[in-house]
Every structure is written in structure tokens, then in C-alpha cells.
Amino acid sequence: MYEYQESVQEMFQIDSWRCMVENNAVVSEMTRPLVPCTFCSTLNSISVEYAISLNDFRTKYAYSSVPVLIKNATHNWSAMDIFSYQYLKDLYTDTEGALKSVDEECQFFHYNTDFENLTEVFNMSDARANFAEGEKPWYIGW
């Protein structure tokens, strides 16, 4: 069996592949966990909570499989002020090897964007980065 594995690796040069499977919307959709179609069959409405406490969320929803829409959940998060586009751009462009590592480890998920990698994201114009009127909207996810 080991010889066969080595032959396959050698034939396809698997060791030189950057990613075994390219990460894109099709692959993400094909590999997501299946959800039973009957999961929400008796659902008539969805609860809406505003700035719910952690304890209330745990008690009412965390282990219940009951869907909930939570609004104002990030209202008091310091991350909303700290983790800006500029903060992330500075972090990744000032840290030696950070962008290369993201590429090599296939950590960038471009979903439905026109960016192929994080370098392209951080090279966009300031106007687009700040969602200026007339600029193409953008989204990325980690």
C-alpha cells in the first residue's frame, strides 16, 4: 500500500501542491455539514433578541437548536473599534511573512469577491476600502 501511495504522490506531484483542494464557494457548499430538511419544518417565527446577555443566550438558545436573530450583539465590543481595515492591513503588511503564510496555508476564503488573495485586498484603493459612494462593495472572511 505504501508503494502505491508513493507512486500516486510522485505521479501527481502532490507534495508540490499549494492546496489539495482549492477553497471556493462550490467546495465550501459541497463540504458543509448536512442539515436535516425537517429541522425547521414546524417553525412559524424566529425570536428576535436585542443585546441579549450571555447567560440569557445560554439558557434560552445555546443548546436548544432554536434559531434566533440577535440584534445589537456587538454594541459594546471593543473589537468593533480596534479591528478596522487599516489595523488588519498594517498588521499583515508590517509582519514579515504574514501574507505569504496566509497564501501557503490556504487561509484566505474569497467567497464571492473579486480578490484572489489577501495581498489584493490590502492593495485596494482607500476609497473602496472605506466603502466610498460609487466604489464597488467588498467582503472577505477569515
- Is the C-alpha dihedral spanning 37, 111, 113, 13 positive or negative? negative
101-115: pLDDT as tens digits: 888 777 787 777 888
* Domain chopping of the chain, boundaries: 78-142
Band of residue 93 on the pLDDT scale cut at 50, 70, 90: very high
Kindly report the backbone phi and psi dihedral angles of residue 24, in degrees, each rounded to the nearest multiple of 5, phi listed first.
-145, 180
Please determine, for residue 67, whether its predicted confidence score (pLDDT) is greater than 90. no
pTM of the entire predicted model: 0.54
